[in-house]
Structure 1
Amino acid sequence: MSMAIQTGRALPAIVKLFAELRRKCRMCPRVERFWLWLNGCYCSTLLKRAFWRLIILPIHAWRLIIQNCPPDHPGLIQDTNDYYCEYDSTWEDPTSEETSRKRTNNVDRRMPNLQFYLGQRASSPDGIYIEDFHNNWYGDYSKLERVHSYIQWLFPLQERGMNYQAKELTKKEIEAFLEDETAKKRLVKSYKLMLDFYGIQLSNDTTGEVRRANNWRDRFDNMDRNTHNNLRITRILKCLGTLGFPHYQAPLVRFFLEETLVKGNLYNVKESVLNYFISAVIVQQQRKELVEYAYKLYEVKHQFVVPKKTKSTFREGTFPRNKNPIDLKPDLKQNGIYSDDSDDNTTSHQSVSLC
Structure 2
Amino acid sequence: MESDECEFDSTWEDEHQNKTPRKKMYRRSRRNMYAAKDMQDFRHSCQFLDYDDEEPVRDFFYNLEFYQGRIRSSPDNIHIDEFHKHWWGQYGWLEEVHSYIQWLFPIQEQGLNRWSHVLTKKEIKLFRRDKQALRNLVKSYEVMLDFYGICLINIHTGEVRRAPNWRQRFKNLNRYTHNNLRITRILKCLGTLGLEHYQAPLVKFFLRETLVNAELSNVKQSVLDYFMFAVLNKSKRRELVGYAYKHFRPQEEFVWGPKKILQKETSKEAN
Normalising by the smaller structure, the TM-score range is: 0.7 to 0.9
Aligned: 1:174 with 2:117: no
Q: Which has the higher helix share?
A: 1
Letter of the 2:252 counterpart: H
In the alignment, which of 224, 239, 262 is matched to residue 274 of structure 1?
224
In the alignment, which of 187, 192, 203 is matched to residue 142 of structure 2?
192
SS at match of 1:211: strand
TM-score under structure 1 normalisation?
A: 0.58
Cα displacement (A) at 1:320: 3.6
Tell me the residue number matched to 2:243: 293
Cα displacement (A) at 1:322: 5.2
Tell me the residue number matched to 1:157: 107
Letter of the 1:256 counterpart: F
Q: CA RMSD in A?
A: 1.7
Cα displacement (A) at 1:305: 1.9
Measured in 1, the distance between the counterparts of 2:263 and 2:84 equals: 42
Structure 1, unaligned runs of 5 or more: 1-82, 85-107, 326-355
Letter of the 1:121 counterpart: I
In the alignment, which of 244, 249, 264 is matched to residue 321 of structure 1?
264
SS at match of 2:113: coil
* Structural mapping, 1:69-108, within 5 Å: 108=59
In the alignment, which of 116, 140, 144 is matched to residue 66 of structure 2?
116
TM-score under structure 2 normalisation?
A: 0.75
Letter of the 1:187 counterpart: L
Task: Name the CA shift for 1:137/1:323 in 2 (closer, same or farther; >3 Å).
Answer: closer
Measured in 1, the distance between the counterparts of 2:144 and 2:238 equals: 26
SS at match of 2:89: coil
How far does the alpha carbon of each residue in 1:304-342 deviate from its partner, in whole angstroms, 9 at most, with x for none?
121xxxx5xx69x622415779xxxxxxxxxxxxxxxxx
How far does the alpha carbon of each residue in 1:178-218 deviate from its partner, in whole angstroms, 9 at most, with x for none?
11000000000000000000000001111000000001000
Aligned residue pairs, count: 212
Measured in 2, the distance between the counterparts of 1:318 and 1:204 equals: 32
Measured in 1, the distance between the counterparts of 2:113 and 2:237 equals: 29
How far does the alpha carbon of each residue in 1:255-311 deviate from its partner, in whole angstroms, 9 at most, with x for none?
0000000111000000000000001111111111100000001120111121xxxx5
Cα displacement (A) at 1:221: 0.1
Letter of the 2:231 counterpart: V
Higher relative contact order (CA 8 A, sep 6+): 2
Q: Does the 8 A contact of 2:87 with 2:93 survive in 1?
A: yes
Q: Does the 8 A contact of 2:108 with 2:118 survive in 1?
A: yes
Aligned: 1:220 with 2:170: yes
